[in-house]
Structure 1
């Protein structure tokens, strides 16, 4: 059985509004569009599933309109929601303001998605070879302690994939170091990687990050439309991206991660998997909404073109 892609992080509802600009303090702007999507961890899982992986959400999902939307979005692409619903509490919302440049800003509430336990995470039952994804945003707030305790119970053969996010800089050093010691795949953007490394420069930051991780770990650093860097199997590859005119960058990094892991689970090398992930992220930014990751056939057509 091929490895599964399991995500432990928060599945939220993204309330996306396109705005001409961010309002000044005390000001107001009129949005040109509004739509609700399932987002957060859902984006990575949908991207992985559309590239052929068996995907599982191990996090908590509430009961209510938001939780219903999350479950429906996962089910539509065959993604399993392993944990039982959180009764009496609904899933939170992330308000996403998208500017004409495709830059986005976020305001996030907290709800049932933070109500994880060691037992609820264990319903995903990872086995050796599976990819267990961890978000830096899970390491702040009440999800941190049960997540870290559960990670300590995993078989050594389970691959822990860390997507640090901006929140990783706020993590207490003892927690950060414990997670880094268990991480087998780092997949962060250039800014996140430079923050951990303490210096600027894509290759320099990747080298420092790789030195912090265990010797057999893989380091992937995304650099937006410029592509990504992959340190794996004793070599470094800088893989070009596919610059596009973006309409919405929300979910591009998550799409990259989901496709990267799905293709690796399918047996591709890390470099070949990253080539396809670069293409998938390029397609994603031309589409509105975080749930618009391409299928494997669409990635094939894009690369062939």
Structure 2
């Protein structure tokens, strides 16, 4: 029985990629063959770092189980991990560097990425086998890792053997259509929490209605698993085997940068489940946390626990809205 671990994770362990984001804020994307002058730029750790930092800010212990190189990108990753109080669970790789991406952020906060993978994309089975996981750990994997030839094959072999006491959290990500179909379906049967955006839900289910999409994903994941379909400014939909599809409202906001908003949402959901909140309340607070993050430029901009509490208090006073459980 995994219900206790599923509902109250004690530590977030990210399996996969932390790399460097090179962010450029532009008025619009240049035409093919053209050029555009950025209004501002930023260089910082991104990818899985957004999730780890978001969890730490909200009081959930977090650790990085990925490969980091010793070049300039890897050095930046290590500096950012140390500053955030996030331990590295695997030894650094000598003679290799971590990857990076270039992200163009337009005025409406939409972002477009081009990624150059590094050593973080080559996670080996022997790396995974040396990890010491604890009961109550929440192991997070993204679709990026399942697309990479080396990491994907390693995870396909390793993930099914995870202890029943370990929670598996999965975000398919924008490359969901590139994940080998048999690998994806095999993984889904072990997933305890799946969090994905509307586009990814449509690709996985073939429907654009998020209530139908959340419902159709429930039988494809582990027994008593949780499904969260994020709808950006429209909040999110949630469902499980004991919870009919339910819309969780958003916090109205004006976005300036949506980079890392999904990571903030997942981090907040896990942190609030860890604190003992029920599924619907945790999802609502995740909506609020994500809305705070998009008001700030940069990828790892999730709120602290105090910032989230202050925002919720300003919205609702001393108590949160009560969501009915809506059982089947």
Give TM class, smaller chain. over 0.9
CA contact (8 A) 1:12 1:91 kept: yes
* RMSD over aligned Cα atoms: 1.5
Correspondence for 2:270: 261
Q: Report the Cα offset of residue 164 of structure 1.
A: 0.5
Q: Report the Cα offset of residue 139 of structure 1.
A: 0.8
Moved more, 8-17 or 206-215: 206-215
Correspondence for 1:162: 170
Give runs of aligned pairs for residues 32-181 of structure 1, distance below 5 A.
32-141=39-148, 142-181=150-189
Q: Cα deviations across residues 202-236 of structure 1 (Å, max 9, x unaligned)?
A: 10111111122233111111110111112146123
Correspondence for 1:276: 285
Correspondence for 2:323: none
Q: Distance in 2 between matches of 1:122 and 1:12?
A: 22
Q: Distance in 2 between matches of 1:112 and 1:34?
A: 25
Correspondence for 1:288: 297
Correspondence for 2:219: 211
Q: Cα deviations across residues 42-88 of structure 1 (Å, max 9, x unaligned)?
A: 00010011111110111111112211111221222211111111111
Query: Aligned to 1:166, what secondary structure does the other structure show?
Result: coil
Q: Report the Cα offset of residue 289 of structure 1.
A: 0.5
Q: Report the Cα offset of residue 123 of structure 1.
A: 4.4
Structure 1: which 4+ aligned runs deviate by more than 4 Å? none
CA contact (8 A) 1:19 1:29 kept: yes
Q: Distance in 1 between matches of 2:71 and 2:277?
A: 40
Q: Distance in 2 between matches of 1:264 and 1:124?
A: 24
Q: Distance in 2 between matches of 1:114 and 1:2?
A: 26
Correspondence for 1:192: 200
Q: Distance in 2 between matches of 1:116 and 1:215?
A: 28
Q: Report the Cα offset of residue 124 of structure 1.
A: 3.9
Q: Distance in 2 between matches of 1:284 and 1:192?
A: 21
Q: Report the Cα offset of residue 129 of structure 1.
A: 2.1
CA contact (8 A) 2:55 2:62 kept: yes
Q: Cα deviations across residues 129-178 of structure 1 (Å, max 9, x unaligned)?
A: 21111101111122101122221331122111110012122112210111
